[in-house]
Structure 1
Amino acid sequence: MMATMAIIELERNSGKVVEEIVKLERKIFPKHESLASFFHNELKKKNSGLLYLHVDGELAGYVMYSWPSSLYASITKLAVKEQWRKQGHGEALLKAAIEKCRTRKISRILLHVDPLRTPALNLYKKHGFQVDCLVDGYYSSDRNAYRMYLDFDSI
């Protein structure tokens, strides 16, 4: 039987979903990298959004993005629960976030990724993101990040 999948935009004040996402965030990311404590503040910002993925009614992943200016947007988090990985869910979330950013009429999306996270890196490259530069010590003193960008063709 096919799983029922839905990508849902987080509504303001949907506390229960936020708690689930915070739990997942803590599980997936190292403590110093987890946004768990910032989640509520992040979501209060007018210029940020979050899409989450339900598979058979269960939280399977989420993507968080923001648009600090009219020039660019950032994908700040993309996470999929371990048992749901390698099934196209991360890709579905990424595409949905790219579309949301595109509707904001921005010309570039930025994100940071650990060069050692090959599946994530390959996913971003597949969707047209290019490596801009290596940022030393982005995650911690001994973990770097690639800054990547995707430019929308100016219309």
Structure 2
Amino acid sequence: MAASSAIKELNRDSTNWAKVVEEMVKLERKLFPKHESLARSFDDEVKRKNSGLLYAEVEGEIAGYVMFSWPSSLYASITKLAVKEKFRRQGHGEALLKAAIQRCRSRKIQRVCLHVDPTRTAAVGLYRKLGFQIDKLVECYYSSDRNAYRMYLDFDSD
């Protein structure tokens, strides 16, 4: 059984800001190709207005993180979801995504969007499990030979 994780929000005034960002940059470099990585601009990305960063911590170690932004009340975007390999398939990605969705919902956002490589079947499965639907295939989204599904999750307007 996996150790339980705590979902935390990284705020600019967090005492552990530098340490947490450093760990996330390492993970970003390891998991994403250089042209998709935010490693060089991670600190700037997190400081942007109308953006959020949540991370899962297991026994003091960062297991993964999710970045999201909400340019308007119409929609939000999940810009990154990353989980360290040793923590995968233990529910950390799902917990992070649910927490990000809840943050968007609390801001009265109407739709959450994201892009995912169709070959990342585990990720596509997780997004579908949480209610995301495929909007369309975006050709050459990541590179000339890598496409993406554009997916969305609409909230009821009650």
* TM-score (structure 2 length as normaliser): 0.95
Distance 1:2 1:25, change over 3 A: closer
Gaps of 5+ in 1: none
Residue 34 of structure 2 is aligned with which of 24, 31, 34? Answer: 31
Cα distance, 1:3 vs structure 2: 2.1
- Is 1:107 matched with 2:107? no
Does structure 1 retain, via aligned residues, the 8 Å contact 2:7–2:55? yes
Does structure 1 retain, via aligned residues, the 8 Å contact 2:64–2:84? yes
State how 1:71-110 maps to structure 2 within 5 Å.
71-110=74-113
Taking the aligned partners of 2:147 and 2:109, their CA distance within structure 1 comes to 27
Distance 1:124 1:40, change over 3 A: same
Taking the aligned partners of 2:149 and 2:117, their CA distance within structure 1 comes to 6
SS in 2 for 1:78: strand
Cα RMSD after superposing both structures: 1.2
Does structure 1 retain, via aligned residues, the 8 Å contact 2:5–2:92? no
Cα distance, 1:70 vs structure 2: 1.3
Taking the aligned partners of 1:29 and 1:7, their CA distance within structure 2 comes to 22
The range that moved more, 8-17 or 114-123, is: 8-17
Query: Which residue matches 2:47?
Result: 44
Query: Which residue matches 2:122?
Result: 119
Query: Which residue matches 2:6?
Result: 6
Deviations 1:56-100 (A, max 9, x none): 110100000000111000000000000000111110111001001
Seq. identity, %: 74
Q: How many pairs were matched up?
A: 155
The range that moved more, 65-74 or 35-44, is: 35-44
Cα distance, 1:23 vs structure 2: 0.5
The one-letter code of the counterpart of 1:10 is: L
The one-letter code of the counterpart of 1:12 is: R
Taking the aligned partners of 2:112 and 2:82, their CA distance within structure 1 comes to 17
- Is 1:152 matched with 2:137? no
The range that moved more, 11-20 or 82-91, is: 11-20
Distance 1:11 1:115, change over 3 A: same
Gaps of 5+ in 2: none
